[in-house]
Amino acid sequence: MFKFQSSIFKVSFLALFLSACSSKPNHEEMGQRMLDEARRELSQKNFAAARDTIMSLRLRCPKALQARRQALVLLDSIEMLGAADSLSRATGPEWERLEVKHKFYQRKLQEDLTQNKFVK
């Protein structure tokens, strides 16, 4: 009888332990959701919100390595498209400054994409 109770206790403990582990948020899944949110913001040309979402991902999901790698490339895209958007409204010296910024982010994006071939 004692062995039977001990076995039930062990099985119960194991089930409780496994359910507790599965209830913790998966950092990679949360990171992917935050990336999706940043992409939605970017598609609506809300560059500041998209950038803030990426920064939040870096703080809240330190273990989401794949999402963080993708976030680097996405952040470059956000910066490049933000510069291009500002460039479309600029004139004179402001236009020249933004054109340099835009070209920088284009080059950086290409470099990040070649460095991170595994990024989707």
Determine if the pTM surpasses 0.75. Answer: no
Mean predicted confidence (pLDDT) in 72-93:
86
Say yes or no to pLDDT of 32 above 70.
yes
Contact 69, 119 (CB under 8 A): yes
- Residue 44, pLDDT score: 94
Angle between helices 65-87 and 92-115 (to 10 degrees): 160
Rounded mean pLDDT, 53-82: 92
Q: What is the mean pLDDT of residues 102-110?
A: 84
CA 45 to chain centre: 17
How far apart (Å, rounded) are the C-alpha atoms in residues 31 and 59?
10
- Domain chopping of the chain, boundaries: 29-115
Please report the pLDDT score of residue 19 as a whole number.
45
